[in-house]
Structure 1
Amino acid sequence: MSELNGTWILESKENFEEFLKALGVGVILRKIAKNITPTLIIKGEGRKWSVKMTSSFKNLEYNFNLDEEFDDVTIDGRKVKCIFKLEGKKLITEQRDFKSKELISKIEKYVDEKGHMIEFLYAKNIISKRTFKRVN
């Protein structure tokens, strides 16, 4: 079992709107995303994982096997190829352009020494950091 398993609520964020802008997310969706406090529910054992995000705006759920690429549509309607990997204790998500396979974004999640889940989000030359606290 991963120490990422559990329910997490957003505590703080840095540079998040800039990250969304680098992805090409429109101004209205960026403003909405900037002002919500999502909850993440992560369940992982072996190769089978799920990541569920709930918020006052929209809910998302991914059920996946590690290291298996799948087709996805982002909240703002872009078609991407997505893959989740476990590297040490970090859950890595990569989104690639559906046609060119060029890397669009990379997200790393891990639990730090204080018990917070740290999420680094990368797009182009932008890095965003979000910190979550465990709910349960």
Structure 2
Amino acid sequence: MSVQRSWVIGAADCYNKNNVGLLIRKTACTLKPDVIISVDGDIIKIRSESTFKNHDTIFKLNEEFDEVTADGRKTKTTVTLDDGVLVQHQKWNGKESKINREAKDDQMVTTCIIGDIKAVRIFTKKN
């Protein structure tokens, strides 16, 4: 899996049109998290580390699991690997979101989509 490594944030367009509360949205836009993606057998772990909060998502591909997101949402989540892209599908309270993580050269492009709203964060490979 080509996204398996440590990444640091490089650029982002923020979640300005999102249905996220103002305080959380402003905080999210200022965070500069490191993201570490690791694999141990069939278990994948995505760890986000920042000065504000650390968060782990641990899962097996193609298996639905209960996730508590970094912003506190309780979702039913399934993660798949589609043509080298790690695709995270989240469902909660009649809503859905999708997070795509794709490695391109020394970058990981993370695209978060909720309805017709899209936010992109570009991470660079950490040495």
Residue of structure 2 equivalent to 1:124: 115
Structure 2: which amino acid aligns with 1:134?
Answer: K
Q: Secondary structure at the match of 1:17?
A: coil
d(CA) in 1 for partners of 2:23, 2:63: 32
Matched-pair contact (CA < 8 Å) for 2:42–2:61: yes
| Pair 1:8-2:7 in alignment | yes
Q: Structure 1 residue 25: deviation in Å?
A: 1.7
Q: Structure 1 residue 94: deviation in Å?
A: 0.8
Structure 1: which amino acid aligns with 2:100?
Answer: E
Alignment counterpart, residue 133 of structure 1, candidates 103, 124, 127 = 124
| Pair 1:107-2:99 in alignment | yes
Residue of structure 2 equivalent to 1:48: 43
Q: Structure 1 residue 45: deviation in Å?
A: 5.6
Residue of structure 2 equivalent to 1:79: 74
Q: What is the aligned length?
A: 127
Superposition TM-score, scaled by structure 1 size:
0.85
Question: How many percent of aligned residue pairs carry the same amino acid?
Answer: 31
Superposition RMSD on alpha carbons, in Å?
1.6
Structure 2: which amino acid aligns with 1:109?
Answer: R
Residue of structure 1 equivalent to 2:15: 17
In the TM superposition, structure 1's runs of 4+ consecutive aligned residues that sit over 3 Å from their partners are: none
User: What does the per-residue CA deviation read over 1:49-86, in whole Å, with 9 as the maximum and x for residues that have no partner?
Assistant: 11000011111101111111111222333221111111
d(CA) in 1 for partners of 2:7, 2:79: 19
Alignment counterpart, residue 62 of structure 2, candidates 62, 67, 81 = 67
In structure 1, the gaps of 5 or more residues are none
Distance 1:45 1:91, change over 3 A: farther
Q: Secondary structure at the match of 2:46?
A: strand
